[in-house]
């Protein structure tokens, strides 16, 4: 397994239930810059589960048994237009102070400063990789109170810009047979960038977006470009507000009022 794949995390919830306290559905990933670490998913992942942030149990890496603490939440304000797919993003900032005291494993995250590529730079037929947790691959064993999450690496081909602003379209071309893309929302989308160093050809994973939705019958999926994520983080770090709004007509971001 490549280390960057571990930045993709399953979305688990803890409930006050007498028989089984945990439930799992959805994909997410960790990103970081020089200042902070963040957890990112599609906002509808939490909304569809009717889950509150306090019920989330996100683990920093595969070997961890202690979930991440969070101290800030960033969402994107909804407007009045129908074309708002790019606003389907939820970002939580990791509380590094508490993590340093209680964390039992290293944080594995995609580097926002060196490991991001604008989806606008992609060309049709470029190869993409989606790393997530399809719902049909998750196993809940109620007798032993265990959840098994299977991380899938899915190949896709870039198709071009979506009809939704700041969003893009890909076609799945993978050997992993899935009846549904349920659970893949929130997955990171990568493009492997080739670099020649000496006599070696190296491949570097570049984050190009976050998967929003798709159908297995059409093999078409849509993702929001990484520029939206980068701008949300920039605005969040520049302003104390915990809600940000991005103008659909511009490439920049501005605080909500």
Q: Which domain holds residue 94?
A: 3-243
Rounded CA-CA distance 147/156 in Å is: 28
For residue 6, give the H/E element and its range.
none
Predicted confidence (pLDDT) per residue in 14-44, tens digit: 877 666 667 788 999 999 999 999 999 999 9
Within a domain: residue 249?
no
- Domain membership flag for residue 248: no
Global pTM value:
0.88
Residue pair 59/45 in contact by the 8 Å Cβ criterion: no
Q: Is residue 252 part of a domain?
A: no
**Other beta carbons within 10 Å of 190:** 28
**Model pLDDT for residues 45-89, shown as the tens digit of each residue:** 999 888 888 899 999 988 888 999 999 999 887 665 556 788 999
Tally of structural domains, the chain: 1
Task: Confirm whether 9 is domain-assigned.
Answer: yes
* CB-CB neighbours of 133 under 10 Å: 25
Q: Answer whether residue 123 is part of any domain.
A: yes
- Residues of the chain above pLDDT 70, percent: 85
Instruction: Flag whether 250 is in a domain.
Output: no
* More confident site: 167 or 140: 167
Domain of 155, CATH number, reads 2.40.10.10
Q: Does residue 254 sit within a domain?
A: no
Rounded to the nearest 10 degrees, how much is the dihedral formed by the CA atoms of 209, 58, 136, 139? 160
Pair 102, 56: CB distance under 8 Å: no
Per residue in 161-206, pLDDT tens? 998 989 999 999 988 889 999 999 999 999 999 888 778 888 899 9
Length of the chain counted residue by residue: 257
257 within domain boundaries: no
């Amino acid at each position: 397994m490549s280390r960057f794949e571990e930045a993709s995390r399953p979305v688990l919830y803890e409930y006050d239930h007498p028989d089984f306290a945990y439930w799992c559905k959805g994909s997410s990933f960790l990103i970081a810059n020089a200042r902070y670490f963040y957890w990112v998913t599609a906002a509808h992942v939490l909304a569809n589960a009717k889950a509150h942030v306090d019920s989330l149990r996100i683990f920093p890496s595969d070997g961890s048994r202690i979930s991440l603490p969070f101290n800030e939440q960033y969402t994107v304000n909804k407007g009045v237009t129908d074309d708002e797919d790019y606003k389907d993003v939820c970002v939580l900032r990791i509380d590094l102070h508490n993590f340093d005291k209680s964390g039992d494993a290293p944080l594995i995250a995609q580097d926002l400063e060196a490991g991001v590529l604008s989806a606008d730079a992609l060309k049709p037929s470029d190869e993409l990789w989606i790393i997530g947790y399809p719902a049909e691959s998750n196993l809940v064993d109620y007798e032993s109170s265990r959840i098994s999450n299977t991380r899938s690496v899915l190949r896709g081909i870039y198709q071009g810009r979506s009809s939704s602003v700041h969003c893009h379209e890909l076609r799945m071309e993978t050997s992993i047979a899935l009846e549904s893309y349920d659970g893949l929302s929130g997955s990171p989308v990568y493009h492997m960038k080739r670099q020649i160093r000496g006599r070696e050809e190296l491949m570097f994973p570049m984050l190009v977006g976050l998967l929003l939705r798709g159908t297995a019958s059409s093999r078409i999926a849509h993702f929001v470009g990484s520029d939206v994520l980068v701008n949300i983080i920039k605005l969040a770090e520049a302003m104390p507000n915990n809600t940000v709004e991005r103008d659909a007509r511009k490439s920049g971001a501005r605080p909500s009022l």
